[in-house]
Amino acid sequence: MSNVRVGIVGPTGYAGMELVRLVVGHPRMRLVYLAGSGARTGALDAHLPHLHVLADAMPLVEALDVEKAANVCDLVFVALPSGESGRVAWQIWQAGRQHGVKVIDLSGDLRLPADAYEAWYGKAAVPQEAISEACYGLPERHRESIRGASLVANPGCYATACALAVLPLGDLLADVEGPIVFDAKSGVTGAGRAPKEHLHLGELANDAYPYRVGQHQHTPEIEQALGGRVRVLLTTQLLPVPRGILVCAYIAIPPDAAPMVYDRYASFCEDEPFVRLLVYGEMPHIKAVNGTNECHLAVRWDDRSRLLQVFTAIDNLGKGAAGQAVQNANLMFGWPEDEGLRLVPLWM
């Protein structure tokens, strides 16, 4: 059954190590190639002792060789810092194009048009050809295109949680008045593993605060994921927890649509394997989705303010990164969408 040969570029990073866990547990994937910058090579469990249990199932970590990645793998996940990741994904895709290698990039490099990317990320964009080739990998919106894609831009973590809060509105989105406001909070693994002063325990413990306000790079990605029809105000905040994203969206739907809005969300979620609508009145918890590919969603109409509140919770490393990447791979290979993703939450 384990017939598809898989490579992971960036396995020593937070998203990459979660990919290792999911790929090793996937019944149709065989991990054959691990590569990074060359700074940490050899046995992966020498750098990540918790993976010792998987040592026999894992190749050694090598310095990245694009040609090798393209030749020994059928599928490559690329999870490098933005600015580097999309370039590497594009190179591997080009090198393996003739024998149909499939590539999923977890960074923001292939998600936006070049001018928007450069404006919001402040970095040079990859060639337009790469951006045009890449399919935006939000299954709840682009399932059919993902099935036919060989290069996928995996969505951002905040962008996933925010878009999923709104997409169930469907054509009601056209009647929303004013911008949609997202109050979003993330655990610290969202910032990656490279040490930074504001991420130290001493700085972050007992604290929580907004950051990159008005400048967060997922703002245009959310607008794009919602079809470019609404303005978005996104406030991102850092929480002193390792993982998980919690979003509250405030949406001015027409008040006369309020009585049937829960049913609209219910009918959307009924067909979605990973978006779970909570019973009216229940609220999502990040602990209930951490370690999984699920998005938990709650809807509440506030009659006093005449606003719809939609709450979503995802694991930034799960549905926000590695889990969604595996979901996309399942679609690209024509497998059941939840293959290898029937995961029990970590809770503690």
Ligand X SMILES: CC(=O)N[C@@H](CCC(=O)OP(=O)(O)O)C(=O)O
Ligand Y SMILES: NC(=O)C1=CN([C@@H]2O[C@H](COP(=O)(O)OP(=O)(O)OC[C@H]3O[C@@H](n4cnc5c(N)ncnc54)[C@H](OP(=O)(O)O)[C@@H]3O)[C@@H](O)[C@H]2O)C=CC1
Residues annotated as catalytic are 157
Confirm or reject binding of residue 191 to ligand X (CB under 6 A): yes
Contacts (Cβ under 8 Å, ≥6 apart) of 94? none
**Local structure of 12: helix, strand or coil:** coil
Q: Which does 40 bind (CB under 5 to 8 A by kind): ligand Y, ligand X, none?
A: ligand Y
Pairing of strands 102-105, 151-153: parallel
Confirm or reject binding of residue 15 to ligand Y (CB under 6 A): yes
Confirm or reject binding of residue 12 to ligand Y (CB under 6 A): yes
Confirm or reject binding of residue 80 to ligand Y (CB under 6 A): yes
Of 20, 22, 51, 64, which one interacts with ligand Y (CB under 6 A)? Answer: 64
State the number of CA atoms in the 13 A half-sphere of 330 facing the CB.
23
Q: Which does 236 bind (CB under 5 to 8 A by kind): ligand Y, ligand X, none?
A: ligand X
Contacts (Cβ under 8 Å, ≥6 apart) of 68? 33, 62
Among the residue ranges 18-26, 46-54, 130-138, 185-193, the one whose residues contact ligand X (CB under 6 A): 185-193
Q: Which residue has the tokens 């938990």?
A: 296
Window 149-168: residues binding ligand Y (CB under 6 A): 156-157
DSSP state of 1: -
Pairing of strands 75-78, 61-63: unpaired
Which residue of this chain has its Cβ atom nearest to ligand Y in the complex? 13
Dihedral (CA of 80, 289, 172, 181) sign: negative
Confirm or reject binding of residue 326 to ligand Y (CB under 6 A): no
Q: Which residue has the tokens 């002063």?
A: 197
Of 25, 81, 240, 273, which one interacts with ligand Y (CB under 6 A)? Answer: 81
Confirm or reject binding of residue 13 to ligand X (CB under 6 A): no
* Of 304, 302, 285, 320, the residue nearest 251 (C-alpha): 302
Residue 271's φ and ψ, nearest 5 degrees, are: -95, 0
Of 4, 8, 13, 139, which one interacts with ligand Y (CB under 6 A)? Answer: 13
Q: Is residue 318 within 8 Å of 292, Cβ to Cβ?
A: yes
Window 287-306: residues binding ligand X (CB under 6 A): none
Q: Which does 13 bind (CB under 5 to 8 A by kind): ligand Y, ligand X, none?
A: ligand Y
Window 173-192: residues binding ligand Y (CB under 6 A): 189-190, 192
Distance separating the N- and C-terminal Cα atoms of the chain: 33
Long-range contacts of 257-262 (CB under 8 A, 24+ apart): 257/172, 257/175, 258/301, 258/303, 258/308, 261/169, 261/172, 261/299, 261/301, 261/308, 262/299
CB of 316 to ligand X, least distance (A): 7
Q: Per-residue string for binding with ligand Y, 17-36, x by CB under 6 A?
A: -------------------x
What are 3's two structure tokens? 């017939």
Nearer to ligand X, 104 or 238 (CB): 238
Nearer to ligand Y, 10 or 137 (CB): 10
Q: Which does 169 bind (CB under 5 to 8 A by kind): ligand Y, ligand X, none?
A: none
Confirm or reject binding of residue 156 to ligand X (CB under 6 A): yes
Q: Is residue 306 within 8 Å of 252, Cβ to Cβ?
A: yes
Confirm or reject binding of residue 157 to ligand X (CB under 6 A): yes
Q: Which does 81 bind (CB under 5 to 8 A by kind): ligand Y, ligand X, none?
A: ligand Y
Q: Which does 64 bind (CB under 5 to 8 A by kind): ligand X, ligand Y, none?
A: ligand Y
Ramachandran area for residue 53 (φ above 0: left; ψ -120 to 50: alpha; else beta): alpha
Q: Which does 330 bind (CB under 5 to 8 A by kind): ligand Y, ligand X, none?
A: none
Nearer to ligand X, 244 or 340 (CB): 244
Q: Tell me which residues touch ligand Y (CB under 6 A).
A: 10, 12-16, 36-37, 39-40, 64, 79-82, 84-85, 106-108, 156-157, 189-190, 192-194, 316-317, 320-321
